[in-house]
Structure formats: C-alpha cells, structure tokens
Chain A
C-alpha cells in the first residue's frame, strides 16, 4: 500500500500567488474570487468555531444551517411525540399513518436525503462564486493500480 506521490505541475494548487487568471467571469474576478486569489489557505488556521478565510466562513454558514435543520428532522418528531403524544399520534388523512410514525420513519430518511442534495448543490454554487473549477486540475491517467477497496489487500 504505497502512496502514489506525484509531484507534478498540479503541485502548485493551494498557492495563491501564482497569478492564475480566473476565466469563468471573462477575466474580471468577482469580489469573492479575488478574495480567493488572495488567500493562502495553507497559512489560515482551521478551527470549526472560528473560520479564518472568507471561503470557510461562507461554507460553514451553509454547514451550520444544514446541521440545524438536520437536528430538527432527526430529533424533532420523536421529541414532539414525547412532549405532546396526543397530537402527534393522531391518524393522518388519506395515508392512514399515525403522524409521529410517518415523520420518523419516512420524514427522517427523506429529510436527510433532500438536505444532502441541497448541501451538495450549495457547495457547488460556492465553488462557482469563488471562481473555483473542480475540473481545472487535469485528471491523471497513467493507470496506476490503486486498489478500489482502499488498498487494504496487500
């Protein structure tokens, strides 16, 4: 299980001062993209509670919003059922479920799925706003046999 280290031209990613131009907006970088250009991410502290770069700040805003909604989806219905069992156990019209059962059994997984979709979309939009093109780094194709199972089979 060797690490395939390839110090190639892509090695300069992560550097801010290499003067690459942002092409997505025709060369006129937005404020966010300029911030991104001027940030040296390797010299900005990582702390969940105290984001140090504009990108991280915006990203964490999305993360915490999602987390808050998630917490309500996961623990909300069961807690409401504990607090107000009468209301929560009423039978729903048409589909016949007791309300709490439906919110937990169907609402939980579905809510998490929709949230995940929302987050992945938001994060893509954030990349775009900051002028980051995930495809900009050429994918290498020299076919090194990195095992799909994580290389655990020696």
Chain B
C-alpha cells in the first residue's frame, strides 16, 4: 500500500486549507527567531565559561534533550499518518521507536559514555584502529543524514502548504508542494548556517517543550471539541476504534505479520545505531546520568507516542465525516495522511492561530532534526574524511569551508530527492534506520561486547551491511525516481527483504561476517582490548576522562600474558 500511493504527480493534501495565513506564518517565523536568539544567548554563555553550569544539568533536562533530538517530523506527523492509513502496521513504528531505547540503555548507553569519544565515526575509527573503518562510518553517517532528511523535507513542505499557501509555478516547472520543498529547505540551510555560527545546538529542551506542548494541546483540544475525550485522550480513543472501519484496528489486513516484525526490528536496531542518537550519551556528566537520562528521555518520548495513535483515530474519524471515506478507493491520500495531525485540528473548526501552532510544532520537529543530522553529516565529511584522511594538515578555515560545502551539498541532494518523494514520511525515515541498524549497530554492539572484534571483522561487516542495505533500496526505492521503468525489480525480494525493514535480514548476516572474519584473523592489540574492558569496568571515571586515557595511565604495569 505504501508503494502504490507513492507516485503522485502532485502532492496536495486533500481537505487541507491551503492558503497564506498571517498568524500561523508569524508563529513559524517567530519560533525560528526564538531558536536563533537562544543560540545567541548560549554562545555568549559559552565564551564566559558558563559551561560548567551546563555540566550539572540533571537527568530531566538531559532526557528532554534526548527527546527533542529524537522526535522529528516522522514522529510528529508521519507516525499518526501510518497509523491512520495502515492501522496495526503503523503501530510497529510506535513500538520500534520507543522500545529500542531499552536496548540502548542496557547494552550501550553507559559503555559509550565511558568510551568517551564524540562521534560515531570516531568510535568506529578508534575502536578498530582503522581509518578505512572511520571513512566507511563517516560515509554511512552522511548517507543517513541524507535519507533521513528526505522525510523531514516532505513533512515540512506539506505543513508549509497550510501555513504559507500554494505557490505552484513561482519556480517554473515546480508545483506548489515542490516550491514549498525548495523554500523550506532553503530556510533550514539558512537557519543552520546562522545557528551554526551562533552555536544554537543547545536549543533542545526548548524545542522539546514547543513540540510536545503543540502536539498534546492539539490532541486535547481536538478531543474535547469533538466530544471524543475529556482528560485522557491517550486512553479514551479506545471507545472510538470500533467506529473507524476494520482497517484501523484489524491485524494484518494492510501488511503482513512478517513485515510488521521486520519493520519493528529494523527500527529498534536503527535506534541503537543512529549517530545523532548515540552522540547524546557521550556528553552527559557521568555514566549514571547516561542511564537515568535514558529513562527520562524514554518517558518524554512516550508522552508523544502514547498520543499519536489517539491523534490518528480522531483524524481518521474527522476525515471520514468531513472529507471522504478514509479507506477504500480513492481513500485518504498519503499526502493528507502525512498532515493528519494538522488536518484534524483544522477540521475541528479551531481558530487559525491554534492550527498554526500545531503546524509550527511539526516544522520545529523537522528543522531541529535536520539541523542535527546535517551537522553530524557535514562533520563526518569535514572532520573524519577530509581532515583525518585526505588532508591531515587542513587549516581551521579549510575545515570550516569543507563543512559548509557539505551542508550545502546535503541540502541540495535532499531537496532534489524530496521533490518527488518515494514514500510517506515515516517510511522514508525508516530507510535511514535500516541503514544505521545494518552498518553501525553491529559495530557498536560487537565492538563494545566482544573485545576480540578486530579491524578486518569490522571492515568486512560494514561493507556487508552497506551492500545488504543497498540491494532492497535499489530494488524498491530507486525505481520510484523513474529508473528501471519505475517498477520494483524483484517483487519476491521486496517481500522477504523489504527496504523498510531490511535490517531483519542484514543484522544477523553482518554479525556472522564480523565474528567470522574476526576469528579468522589476528586478535586486536592488547591496548584496544583494555579500552573495551575499561568501558565495562564498574569503577567510576572522572568527567573528562575517556577509556583510552585510563588505559594509557594504567600503562605497562602488570600485564599478565593472557593472550
């Protein structure tokens, strides 16, 4: 179903009031201004050495940062869309995107904090003592940023249609949606270059508050105005389910059990391998904070994830009674689905500024995530590939230039890919999860939990992972951009190794390859093994220490020949 809805000549959400609206436009622009202002204030704080106070930030605020970092347009818009359109299958996203944090917590959060490096390519490069491994991880990080951002661009543009209206034709050859993609991506890249200068990445707690207030306020008000719910819409929507048509709740009518499992698994391992998620654990004050802020982060994430199915239920009912039948032919389009959160608010007859608030929350979610992804992607290029491998003597100026250029490049290719997106927001984003799960998750997991994982194993594993991710992408997604006649090349492969959940097949294979090659080749050096051991030692470490420092300090003394 996802695929059949994918190709539309023009993405215009039916039922959505598309026109320029002054108040919502002011809200959106004001919000961006607020982010910039906060960035400016924090920049001042930094130069005055106020960061010390930042180190004492508690679990709750760290949890908010995790939540804001996590929730993108896929959570805010895309999830409700999939739940509305695909019923129980959509719930695989609710489960996958929350429960993955438990795996992150028990296997990786504290250990990563102890390892103490800053980026995913840094970890891979240092753990496996290999610049090639670092380069593969950097390329993967860049690819993840690109694929992930396509979904965000689609979400921003669809919501932008509500706020700013239809400017089709303003750029020759582009329809209203496409013009909005170009405009919103230009705003994002512009915002990013400004905020990059001002150091505005400390916005996360604010972004979380805006996002969750907008989403929950929208849900409560929609629930009350239409008489669906009173004080607990997250539970009360249960009474509505039986009226929504069997597609909403009947299991496996839209997608198979296998696809549910594959998707959910892929999202879980992807959660544990996404560079911009993992980075949050390097920067907390201690490993205990790393653990507890994960618990808080999951709580803040759950606030939205408990609510998304309720929003989907309300939206589906409102759509059916105001616009047309949600299911069947023609049914709700994927474009309308992707804005169902905004649409539900609008169809409830609420004032424009309030609908605008809900829309602004979606745009905030998208921009915040794209900013994080693009910074991670560009630093992978400028720091890990350019400075570490191509030009070790690079000056600060050159590095910044390369970083800026990679942000522009990311913005350009994302815009192009989003002009005619292959799938709804949540599906687009899940391709990035498949990639992170197949390539980075096994490296982090094995690298942390089996000290004998070595360079050769990691290289073989990552290349296998990249290949296994690329096969279903070429099979299913590339054709939707007009290649290979536009049809999925092998439907049988698409059934068993769907792009949306390819990690279910890829992860076990990558594990086997990595372990096999590691066993067949030389063990890693003792120094590396000790760093892994230090990551698991329960001995407390000081805030600024990395595992490498401790091992270096331990240097030489009593090293029994145990290998």
Give the distance in Å from the alpha carbon of A61 to the alpha carbon of B349 in the complex.
54
Once A36-B538, A55-B538 are accepted as A-B contacts, the answer to whether A120 and B302 lie under 8 Å apart by CB is: no
B422 within 8 A of A: no
Contact of A110 among B302, B538, B545 (CB under 8 A): B302
- Are B99 and A1 in contact, with the CB atoms below 8 A? no
Cβ-closest chain A residue relative to B278: A150
Residues in B neighbouring A152, C-beta threshold 8 A: 118-119, 279, 375-376, 379, 383
Contact of A47 among B103, B202, B299, B450 (CB under 8 A): B450
- Are A112 and B534 in contact, with the CB atoms below 8 A? no
Cβ-closest chain B residue relative to A134: B288
Once A7-B553, A154-B382 are accepted as A-B contacts, the answer to whether A46 and B536 lie under 8 Å apart by CB is: yes
- Are B541 and A10 in contact, with the CB atoms below 8 A? yes
Residues in A neighbouring B35, C-beta threshold 8 A: none
Contact of A108 among B98, B103, B201, B542 (CB under 8 A): B98
A95 to chain B, nearest CB (A): 4
Residues in A neighbouring B241, C-beta threshold 8 A: 96-98, 101
Cβ-closest chain B residue relative to A47: B450
- Are A132 and B538 in contact, with the CB atoms below 8 A? yes
Interface string of B228-254 (1 = CB under 8 A from A): 000000111011111000000111100
Contact of A75 among B239, B261, B452, B545 (CB under 8 A): B261
- Are A153 and B196 in contact, with the CB atoms below 8 A? yes
Once A44-B533, A150-B118 are accepted as A-B contacts, the answer to whether A134 and B540 lie under 8 Å apart by CB is: yes
- Are A116 and B95 in contact, with the CB atoms below 8 A? no
- Are A112 and B118 in contact, with the CB atoms below 8 A? no
Contact of A42 among B94, B236, B309, B537 (CB under 8 A): B537
Once A11-B549, A46-B533 are accepted as A-B contacts, the answer to whether A132 and B542 lie under 8 Å apart by CB is: no
- Are B396 and A120 in contact, with the CB atoms below 8 A? no
Give the distance in Å from the alpha carbon of A36 to the alpha carbon of B537 in the complex.
10
Residues in A neighbouring B95, C-beta threshold 8 A: 74, 104, 108-109
B326 within 8 A of A: no
Cβ-closest chain A residue relative to B535: A46
Segment among B46-54, B218-226, B327-335 that sits at the interface with chain A: B46-54
Give the distance in Å from the alpha carbon of A91 to the alpha carbon of B243 in the complex.
13
Residues in A neighbouring B295, C-beta threshold 8 A: 113, 116-117, 120
Give the distance in Å from the alpha carbon of A113 to the alpha carbon of B50 in the complex.
33
Contact of A111 among B55, B99, B110 (CB under 8 A): B99
Contact of A10 among B106, B236, B545 (CB under 8 A): B545
Once A100-B88, A108-B98 are accepted as A-B contacts, the answer to whether A13 and B550 lie under 8 Å apart by CB is: yes
Once A108-B94, A115-B102 are accepted as A-B contacts, the answer to whether A143 and B52 lie under 8 Å apart by CB is: yes
B22 to chain A, nearest CB (A): 34
Instruction: Kindly identify, within residues 105 to 142 of chain A, every residue whose CB is under 8 Å from any CB belonging to chain B.
Output: 105-106, 108-113, 115-117, 119-120, 123-124, 126-127, 130, 132-142
Once A7-B553, A46-B451 are accepted as A-B contacts, the answer to whether A153 and B537 lie under 8 Å apart by CB is: no
Residues in A neighbouring B285, C-beta threshold 8 A: 139
Number of A-B contacts (CB under 8 A): 280
Residues in A neighbouring B535, C-beta threshold 8 A: 46
Cβ-closest chain A residue relative to B537: A41
A53 to chain B, nearest CB (A): 9
Residues in B neighbouring A13, C-beta threshold 8 A: 539-542, 545, 550
Give the distance in Å from the alpha carbon of A63 to the alpha carbon of B448 in the complex.
14
Instruction: Kindly identify, within residues 295 to 318 of chain B, every residue whose CB is under 8 Å from any CB belonging to chain A.
Output: 295, 298-299, 301-302, 305-306, 309
Residues in B neighbouring A74, C-beta threshold 8 A: 95, 99, 264, 268
Residues in A neighbouring B450, C-beta threshold 8 A: 46-48
A88 within 8 A of B: yes
Interface string of A68-87 (1 = CB under 8 A from B): 00100111001101100100
Give the distance in Å from the alpha carbon of A1 to the alpha carbon of B240 in the complex.
53
- Are B106 and A67 in contact, with the CB atoms below 8 A? yes
- Are B94 and A109 in contact, with the CB atoms below 8 A? yes
Give the distance in Å from the alpha carbon of A99 to the alpha carbon of B478 in the complex.
39
Instruction: Kindly identify, within residues 86 to 117 of chain B, every residue whose CB is under 8 Å from any CB belonging to chain A.
Output: 88, 91-92, 94-95, 98-99, 101-103, 105-107, 110, 116-117
A92 within 8 A of B: yes
B59 to chain A, nearest CB (A): 9
- Are B238 and A42 in contact, with the CB atoms below 8 A? no
- Are A95 and B238 in contact, with the CB atoms below 8 A? yes
- Are A130 and B451 in contact, with the CB atoms below 8 A? no
Give the distance in Å from the alpha carbon of A23 to the alpha carbon of B322 in the complex.
69
- Are B383 and A154 in contact, with the CB atoms below 8 A? yes
Give the distance in Å from the alpha carbon of A152 to the alpha carbon of B201 in the complex.
10
Residues in B neighbouring A149, C-beta threshold 8 A: 201-202, 279, 283, 372, 375
- Are B534 and A41 in contact, with the CB atoms below 8 A? yes
Give the distance in Å from the alpha carbon of A12 to the alpha carbon of B441 in the complex.
32
- Are B538 and A101 in contact, with the CB atoms below 8 A? no
Contact of A153 among B55, B106, B201 (CB under 8 A): B201
Give the distance in Å from the alpha carbon of A123 to the alpha carbon of B106 in the complex.
10
Cβ-closest chain A residue relative to B449: A48
B399 within 8 A of A: yes
- Are A78 and B542 in contact, with the CB atoms below 8 A? no
Once A66-B106, A148-B202 are accepted as A-B contacts, the answer to whether A4 and B51 lie under 8 Å apart by CB is: no
Interface string of A38-72 (1 = CB under 8 A from B): 00111111111000000110010011001100100
Q: List 7 A-B contacts (CB under 8 A).
A: A56-B536, A63-B106, A85-B251, A92-B238, A98-B249, A116-B298, A154-B383
Q: A43-B560, A134-B540 are in contact. List 10 more A-B contacts (CB 8 A).
A: A11-B545, A14-B554, A45-B529, A46-B536, A75-B261, A89-B250, A96-B240, A116-B102, A152-B379, A154-B400
- Listed in ascending order, the chain A residues whose CB lies under 8 Å from chain B are 1, 3-8, 10-15, 36, 40-48, 55-56, 59, 62-63, 66-67, 70, 73-75, 78-79, 81-82, 85, 88-89, 91-92, 95-98, 100-102, 104-106, 108-113, 115-117, 119-120, 123-124, 126-127, 130, 132-154
- Listed in ascending order, the chain B residues whose CB lies under 8 Å from chain A are 46, 49-52, 54-55, 88, 91-92, 94-95, 98-99, 101-103, 105-107, 110, 116-119, 196, 199, 201-202, 234-236, 238-242, 249-252, 257, 260-261, 264, 268, 279-280, 282-283, 285-288, 291-292, 294-295, 298-299, 301-302, 305-306, 309, 372, 375-376, 379, 382-383, 396, 399-400, 403, 449-452, 529-530, 532-546, 548-554, 558-560, 562
